[in-house]
């Protein structure tokens, strides 16, 4: 089983002992004790002997992403002191010639750290490391896009005789740390708690253990995830990784933050049947369409995909947003939407799904967007009039159903912002905001005050998520309702029903 390693970079023996205790209380299995700030070997001995868990000692120089600036001989003495005090592992860089004293029983982790993108000769470097007699290998490079994991996957395909932990630094490449666990990596490096970590992109122990269920993962684990940009805020990770409440086998759901989705998809196909598929969010719902081997009727109608199912090497594009919008509106409405004036604000994949759902319900649909060119072909195909987003549009159309499908008002972007003034909202109308964080956006607050029926984007999220589970995992019958799923979201979803008050 992969060990959860808490990385600490103390400035003294006192802080080292305190940080070690904090990390162990947070659930660490091992401590990576970074010696970068130490100047006395005796202090290293003190911290290692006080630790109530195995210690992995390392001392990183600036060229390898560390903070040590002292004499090379001092660095060697610090590492030897850690081994002599009982550290279970010592991390030695690939360029080091240091040999630990015989008889200590300390294991050697031979490592490579690169603060830039992985070099083209990375495999050759690791081949040399594998011949060094180390007990395990660690390979780390900077990643700027989830598609960069291709370089790491190339290493794992080589099947070295010693254990390998290889991943990419950076927030966009968090998934690579958990994919390493799926490859059998011996360590998962974490920060003890919230705040800056010892390296970019480290998950904290709680996130690794409770959200991504790191202790349950291994070489047999299947996975899927979320493809998009700036997706760390998504509710999906908590929901889909918490399905163990209902399902016997729960694949891990990982973040794939990428601007190169087609390249990433080719890499993920390489995992074979262990890769189940993806949820897709902005800005990739239209971009992934050319990579699909097959499109569902809903995805074809929208020209957008929000769900990818991987089945025997083929990628099938689905669109569960259509169902999500339709179900949320049906809950909010007292009668059907046939013949009602409906306005969709936005021109992206979510807006197209909302328009298709409303057309299927028989509403008279118009689209308002800032830039007409991206949506012009879609609107023409479905015979939907296009309007600008302005007060005159709202005044002329007087929509009985309004769906907001732009990012404006999102908690991670511009909370409190709204494209509509209070007077633009028709009293008694239905107002659906596809932004689901916060639960009550400024638009929904104004709708409620104006006497309209506010519908939270959380409702759409839950309905479409339930359908995604059915499509990707194959069965959702064990999940009683969307309200059952809402319990997995915690406080972020509280009150979503208060935003949806049927007339």
**460 touches 325 (CB < 8 A):** yes
Residues in the chain: 503
Question: Does 338 share its domain with 213?
Answer: no
pLDDT digits (tens, 9 = 90+) for 255-292: 999 999 999 999 999 999 999 999 999 999 999 999 99
Please return the burial class of 165, using the count of CB atoms within 10 Å of its CB with bins 0-12, 13-18 and 19+.
buried
Residue 67 resides in a domain: yes
Residue 419 resides in a domain: yes
Report how many domains make up the chain.
2
* In the predicted structure, residue 116 carries a pLDDT above the cut 90: no
| Residue 492 pLDDT | 64
Looking at 162, 189, 220, the residue that finishes a domain is 220
How far is Cα 232 from Cα 424, in angstroms, rounded to an integer?
33
Torsion of CA 165, 168, 173, 174, to 10 degrees: 40
Percentage of the chain beyond pLDDT 70 is 98
Residue 78 resides in a domain: yes
pLDDT digits (tens, 9 = 90+) for 151-178: 999 999 999 999 999 999 999 999 999 9
How far is Cα 67 from Cα 62, in angstroms, rounded to an integer?
5
**231 touches 281 (CB < 8 A):** yes
Going from the C-alpha of 344 to that of each of 92, 203, 503, the distances in angstroms are: 58, 38, 21
| Residue 371 pLDDT | 86
Q: From the candidates 114, 138, 191, 285, which is the catalytic residue?
A: 285
Look up the domain containing 382 and give its range: 322-461
Q: 367-375: long-range contacts at Cβ-Cβ below 8 A with a sequence spacing of 24 or more?
A: 367/343, 368/343, 368/344, 368/393, 369/345, 371/347, 372/347, 374/347, 374/348, 375/347, 375/351
Higher pLDDT, residue 334 or 326: 326
pLDDT grade for 120, boundaries at 50, 70 and 90: confident
Residue 434 resides in a domain: yes
Q: What is the mean pLDDT of residues 200-228?
A: 96
Q: What is the mean pLDDT of residues 202-216?
A: 96
Residue 492 resides in a domain: no
The CATH number assigned to the domain holding 41 equals 3.20.20.70
Going from the C-alpha of 376 to that of each of 174, 308, 341, 368, the distances in angstroms are: 37, 25, 20, 11
pLDDT digits (tens, 9 = 90+) for 61-86: 999 999 999 999 999 999 999 999 99
Residue 500 resides in a domain: no
- Residue whose C-alpha is closest to residue 248's, from 488, 475, 482: 475
Annotated active-site residue 285? The verdict is yes
Residue 308 resides in a domain: no
How far is Cα 261 from Cα 263, in angstroms, rounded to an integer?
5
Question: Does 23 share its domain with 158?
Answer: yes
């Amino acid at each position: 089983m992969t060990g959860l390693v808490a990385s600490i970079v103390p400035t003294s023996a006192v802080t080292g002992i305190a940080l070690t205790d904090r990390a162990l209380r947070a659930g660490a299995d091992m401590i990576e004790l970074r010696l970068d700030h130490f100047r006395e070997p005796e202090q290293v001995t003190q911290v290692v002997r006080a630790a109530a868990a195995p210690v992995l000692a390392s001392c990183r120089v600036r060229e390898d992403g560390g903070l040590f600036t002292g004499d090379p001989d001092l660095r060697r003495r610090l590492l030897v002191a850690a081994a002599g005090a009982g550290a279970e592992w010592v991390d030695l860089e690939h360029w080091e010639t240091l040999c630990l004293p015989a008889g200590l029983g300390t294991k050697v982790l031979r490592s490579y750290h690169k603060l830039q993108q992985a070099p083209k000769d990375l495999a050759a470097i690791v081949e040399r490391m594998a011949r060094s007699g180390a007990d395990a290998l660690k390979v780390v490079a900077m990643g700027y896009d989830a598609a960069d994991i291709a370089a790491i996957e190339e290493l794992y395909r080589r099947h070295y005789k010693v254990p390998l932990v290889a991943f990419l630094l950076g927030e966009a490449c968090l998934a690579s740390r958990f994919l390493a666990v799926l490859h059998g990596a011996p360590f998962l490096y974490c920060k003890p708690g919230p705040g800056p970590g010892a390296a970019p992109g480290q998950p904290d122990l709680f996130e690794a253990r409770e959200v991504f269920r790191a202790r349950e993962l291994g070489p047999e684990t299947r996975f899927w995830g979320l493809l998009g940009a700036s997706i760390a805020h998504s509710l999906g990770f908590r929901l889909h990784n918490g399905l163990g409440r209902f399902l016997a086998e729960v694949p891990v759901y990982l973040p794939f933050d990428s601007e190169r989705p087609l390249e990433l998809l080719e890499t993920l196909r390489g995992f074979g049947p262990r890769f189940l598929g993806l949820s897709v969010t902005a800005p990739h719902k239209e971009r992934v369409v050319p990579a699909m081997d097959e499109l569902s009727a809903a995805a074809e109608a929208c020209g957008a995909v929000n769900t990818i199912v991987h089945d025997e090497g083929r990628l099938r594009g689905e669109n569960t947003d259509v169902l999500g919008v339709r179900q949320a509106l049906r809950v909010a409405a007292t009668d059907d939407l046939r013949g009602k004036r409906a306005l969709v604000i936005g021109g992206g994949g979510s807006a197209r799904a909302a328009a298709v759902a409303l057309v299927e319900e028989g509403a008279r649909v118009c689209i308002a967007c800032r830039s007409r060119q991206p949506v012009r072909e879609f609107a023409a195909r479905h015979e939907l009039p296009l309007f600008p987003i302005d007060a005159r549009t709202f005044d002329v159309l007087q929509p009985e159903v309004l769906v907001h499908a732009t990012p404006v008002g999102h908690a991670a972007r511009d909370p409190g912002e709204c494209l509509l003034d209070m007077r633009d909202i028709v009293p008694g109308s239905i107002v659906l905001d596809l932004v689901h964080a916060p639960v009550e956006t400024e638009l929904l607050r104004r709708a409620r005050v104006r006497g309209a029926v506010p519908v939270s984007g959380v409702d759409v999220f839950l309905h479409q998520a339930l359908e995604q589970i059915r499509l990707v995992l194959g069965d959702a019958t064990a999940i009683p309702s969307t309200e059952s799923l809402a319990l997995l979201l915690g406080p972020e979803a509280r009150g979503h029903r208060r935003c949806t008050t049927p007339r």
